[in-house]
Amino acid sequence: QKEVEQDPGPLSVPEGAIVSLNCTYSNSAFQYFMWYRQYSRKGPELLMYTYSSGNKEDGRFTAQVDKSSKYISLFIRDSQPSDSATYLCAMSASDYKLSFGAGTTVTVRA
C-alpha cells in the first residue's frame, strides 16, 4: 500500500463547475498538508498549505483535512480553463520528508 493515494483521473469539468480532489494517507504522524498545482512541463507551484486538521480557504480554493479519516480534499469553485493542470497532494510529519500523491490531471472545458 502506498503511503499517499491519489486518484490520477483524468478529470474533465465544464467551466464554472466545482472541482473536487482528494487524497488518502496511511501515516498518522502526518501533520502538514499541501496542495501543489503543476502546469504542463513546469515545476509544482504551492497552492494551499494546512497544518493539522480543519479547513482553509483562499479565494476560489478550499482545502480540508480530516485526520481522523486520514483524508484531505481540495475544492476549486467557479473553475476556469486556467485551472487546467495536474494537482499534487503532499504531506509530511515533523521532518523534512514530503510524501506525494501521484497527481490528478484536471481539464476545465470552456
Calculate the alpha carbon distances from 16 to 12, 39, 76, 77 in Å: 12, 19, 9, 7
Query: What's the half-sphere exposure (Cβ side, CA atoms, 13 Å) at 92?
Result: 8
Q: Output 17 or 102, the one with its CB closest to another protein.
A: 102
Cβ at position 17, least distance to another protein in Å: 24
Q: Output 15 or 57, the one with its CB closest to another protein.
A: 57
Q: Output 41 or 82, the one with its CB closest to another protein.
A: 41
Sole residue written with cell 491519489: 6
List of residues contacting another protein (CB under 8 A): 4, 6, 8, 32, 34, 36, 41-46, 49, 88, 90, 92, 94, 96-98, 100-103
Cβ at position 16, least distance to another protein in Å: 28
Answer for the pair 45, 103: CB distance below 8 angstroms, yes or no: no
Cβ at position 36, least distance to another protein in Å: 8
Beta-ladder partners of 92: 32
Cis previous bond, 81, omega within 30: no
Q: Output 18 or 46, the one with its CB closest to another protein.
A: 46
